[in-house]
Amino acid sequence: MGDLNIKKQPKQYDVVIVGSGAGGGMAAYILSKAGLSICLVEAGPLYDPAKNITQLKGAWESPRRGASTKLRPFGDFDASYGGWELEGEPYTTEKGTDWDWFRSRMLGGRTNHWGRISLRFGPKDFKRKSIDGLGDNWPIGYEDIKPFYDRVDKMIGVFGTNEGLENDPDGFFLPPPKPRLHELLIKNGATRAGVRVIPSRLSILTKALPDNKDRKACFFCSQCNRGCMVYGDFSASSVLIKPAIATGKTDVIANAMAREVLTNKEGLATGVSYISKDDLQEYQVQGKVVIVAAGACESARLLLNSKSPRHPNGLANDSDVVGRYLHDSTGASVSGYIPNLFGRKRYNEDGVGGMHVYSPWWLDNKKLDFPRGYHIEYGGGMHMPGYGFGSGIEKMNGKYAVNGKKKEAGGYGASLKEDYRYFWGANVGMAGRGEGIAFRENTCLIDPNTVDKYGIPVLKFNVKWSDYEIKQAKHMKETFKEIMYNMGAVITSGGDDDEKNNWGLETPGRIIHEAGTVRMGDDPNHSALNKWSQAHDCKNLFVVDGGQFVSQADKNITWTILALSMRASEYLIDQMKKNNI
């Protein structure tokens, strides 16, 4: 350590962006297209789905047949570098609480493997406090963000249908794929349970975009989570950062773990310090503006670790809200199989990477014992067999006649091979993704006693579900059971949950929709950012990821991150033109 010193990058950038996911990627795209010089600091390596290929690999090409590992928690072919645990980068939890934190460390972040579920928030989602008295209203409304949703739809591409629903707004949609067989059966069962089923809304190009030569249409391999080599779906790496680099205005510094946002005597941001994972040297990069987009929790950590005489409580934290109001989507699920599909005819059912239909929230919470809604995601069908295929057949092949013949459970031989063929493709599952309440008490703050291997203080989580989320999970389970019953399906997993395990409600963080930790608001005493994603107490600092959310609706948050980041970036350009920044 004798020669440890800090190397200053010689170039002064217009904007330094920390993080290359949806928020950072959109900022780099908009700002570099506007001619600003950008330095994008990313904690992981470079990644390009056209070069780093796992798509269209057969299960046999993985020695573990696609099973997950600590390094690929969503399977051996999944696109994400990172996981629930990172070597040398711990986090801690308050006693008696749980938090699961998924960190992708790579260009494009978690947009490389995400589900592509691209839902606009509706008018009610920005004003929940006015409806149920809980949490806070956003400082903006749907009408403020709508033009940006419209542009994101057209620029990035999303399929879906205009249904004229009040709180699930119409957009500019590519045509959706037709429902698969199990999805038609689900639709029947759900409709009879009073649950609306409509085409899903995923950022996958069912048709090529008219003005984009760099991306090709989807070819229906169902493997979006592996990254798409023709860029037929949205990931920040391929759709935003690649074009940003092509402008010649964006430099990417990969494998760079941000340590601190640097400020001057006036308290303004001057750049970012980071440690390079390649040479373990300390660096600083200077910018006129700093944009933080490291993911809600990592962004809060970076700001809380950026202390100075002017910002003794951490940057953008005069209000003491940074790291508070942390909330993830709720999640609960059931799965099983549809006996009517046993022995089904074979055809290529892959479709797009994900469900072709879903159920937006369909009820009025005023008539229920929990305040916020959920949507339902569906799965099933004839997938490529992977690790785990055929496991536990002894629990099935004694229960159901195979090709008209009742058999004994278990067994071996040619008869057993017949059973595997017979039962394949009959699986079905459904999962709720709901809105939790953003409470001030649910936090990720700096652990005073723990640092990571780079010496950066780590986060300590203190998050608990409230009765609201638990009651919502109970409602999910009751709904799923009714749908499964209506469609003649048998539940094999998730059907036995009760109050003892919070009705199968997933551990907070598990759904990977964390938000709220650097929230926006009109009142600088109760919010970190103004309605333009700009820090109240540091005008050349912006936060453009899920951290800025006041509440997160029962909608996956990526589309709103993209729209807000686009909006903040254009505001920034305008302010720079006016010499306000």
Residues 39-98 contacting another protein, CB under 8 A: 45, 50, 52-54, 56-67, 69, 71-72, 77, 79, 81
Site for another protein in 94-153 (CB under 8 A): none
Look at the alpha carbons of 7, 12, 15, 20 in this order and tell me if their dihedral is positive or negative. negative
Residue 401 Cβ vs another protein, minimum distance, rounded to whole Å:
16
| Between 348 and 449, CB nearer to another protein | 348
Site for another protein in 418-447 (CB under 8 A): 420-421, 424
The residue range among 148-156, 316-324, 346-354, 569-577 that interacts with another protein, by the rule CB under 8 A, is: 346-354
Binding test (CB under 8 A) with another protein, winner from 169, 179, 267, 508: 179
Q: Which residues contact 161 (CB under 8 A, 6 or more apart)?
A: 173, 176, 198, 199
Could you give phi then psi for residue 541, rounded to 5 degrees?
-125, 130
Token pair, residue 212, equals 């984009």
| Between 139 and 176, CB nearer to another protein | 176
Residue from 37, 138, 208 nearest 522 by CA: 138
The residue range among 323-331, 345-353, 439-447, 514-522 that interacts with another protein, by the rule CB under 8 A, is: 345-353
Site for another protein in 382-421 (CB under 8 A): 382-394, 398, 408-414, 416-417, 420-421
Give the number of C-alpha atoms closer than 13 A to the C-alpha of residue 365, restricted to the C-beta side. Answer: 20
Residue 86 Cβ vs another protein, minimum distance, rounded to whole Å:
11
Q: How far apart are CA 318 and CA 321, in angstroms?
A: 8
Site for another protein in 181-240 (CB under 8 A): 181, 184-185, 188, 199, 206-207, 219-223, 229-230
Residue from 285, 308, 283 nearest 14 by CA: 285
Binding test (CB under 8 A) with another protein, winner from 92, 247, 284, 340: 340
For the chain, the 3-state helix, strand and coil shares in percent, each to the nearest 5, are 25, 20, 55
Site for another protein in 487-546 (CB under 8 A): none
Token pair, residue 265, equals 């005597």
Binding test (CB under 8 A) with another protein, winner from 97, 161, 313, 575: 161
Size of the site for another protein (CB under 8 A): 82
Residue from 122, 118, 109, 119 nearest 204 by CA: 118
Amino acid in position 304: L
Residue 161 Cβ vs another protein, minimum distance, rounded to whole Å:
5
- CA distances 40 to 19, 25, 27, 32, 245, Å, are 7, 9, 10, 11, 10
| Between 33 and 383, CB nearer to another protein | 383
Residue 452 Cβ vs another protein, minimum distance, rounded to whole Å:
17
Amino acid in position 34: A
Q: Indicate the helix (H) or strand (E) that contains 185.
A: helix 181-192
Q: How far apart are CA 580 and CA 534, in angstroms?
A: 12
Residue 423 Cβ vs another protein, minimum distance, rounded to whole Å:
10
Q: Which residues contact 88 (CB under 8 A, 6 or more apart)?
A: 452, 453, 454
Site for another protein in 350-389 (CB under 8 A): 350-352, 382-389
| Contact map string, positions 290 to 329, toward another protein, x by CB under 8 A | ----------------------------------------
| Cα 337 → chain centroid | 28
